[in-house]
Amino acid sequence: MIITRPTVHHVDVFATGPLTGNGLGVFLDTEHWPAAAMQRLTREMRQFESVFLSEVAARGATARVFTVDEELPFAGHPVLGAAAVLHRTRAASIESCSWTLKLPHGHISVKTRNLGNCYRCEMDQGLPLFGGAVAAAALHPILSSLGLNEADMVAGLTAQVVSTGLPYLIVPLRPEALARAAISGLALEALLATVGAKFVLLLDVDGREIRTWDNLGQVEDVATGSAAGPAAAYLCSVGLVQAAVPIDLAQGRFAGRPSRIAVVQDPAGRLLVSGEVWPVSHGVLDFDPRAIEP
């Protein structure tokens, strides 16, 4: 039997038009779906992440985010993409809306604005959490896993873990080092865990450009909303950016898919991350995911 619901939407987040930015699958009406089905659908979509919405209400929903490898408690571009799809499907005639998405990390507030061909979306990532500076002895093997060394870092700046839901080890690099970085080996995730980080974020502090990957280095992310907030918080903390001044971050150039992410830290210290979400396609599933075996 063909299932006419739920609907699946393909959108591009932090994009400047269709087929730019970071692709995302957004699945609606996913109540009672097993995690195994969500994981396998994410792998089927071949996007960096997919988001699954349930308990959709007038101004929000429960959301679960999966990469091809695992479920995440929070991720940035799935939150914005999900909010844009909610606006399209639940409030198409309204220009501006506010949403609350319930993730394992917590409740995330998102504002959306219908621009006609796309949606401008802004999420409140809250206050950043800072870890201590990472000592050279712990940092050295992490840099080696990236094909880098301490001389590739910006003089006078230290690596630090910053989180707005996912803890990133932020490594400030010179531009030429950012260009040649690449993950090798299988040890990076374990090495990052020793300093309290989930992923590594390489930051060109002058060019305002970032790079991040899955921890095996198999896929480079082209627009990472969960990393953009910590990157902006780091720039503010070391005095390179003033609070309340918008920061434009570039990402995805090395993966052949340039993306743009805007971040501002408001006077209270909260990080607001925004970008455009462009619809690409939508359709229905021809099977019932509730029947998928683990």
> Is the confidence at residue 2, as pLDDT, over 60?
no
Buried b (16+ CB within 10 A) or exposed e, 267-287: eeebbbbbbbbbbeeeeeeee
| Residue 9 · residue 90 · CB < 8 Å | no
Q: What is the pTM of this model?
A: 0.92
* pLDDT tens, position by position, 149-162: 999 999 999 999 99
* pLDDT tens, position by position, 197-253: 999 999 999 999 999 999 999 999 999 999 999 999 999 999 999 888 999 999 999
| Strand partners for 264 | 272
* pLDDT tens, position by position, 257-274: 999 999 999 999 999 999
Q: How many CB atoms lie within 10 A of CB 197?
A: 25
Measure the CA angle with vertex 160, ends 215 and 155; round to 5°: 110
165 contact partners, CB below 8 Å, separation of at least 6: 73, 74, 75, 103, 105, 106, 125, 226
Residue owning tokens 């995690």 = 35
CA 39 to chain centre: 17
Amino acid in the structure at residue 288:
D
Residue 54: which pLDDT band, with cuts at 50, 70 and 90? very high
**% the chain with pLDDT above 70:** 98
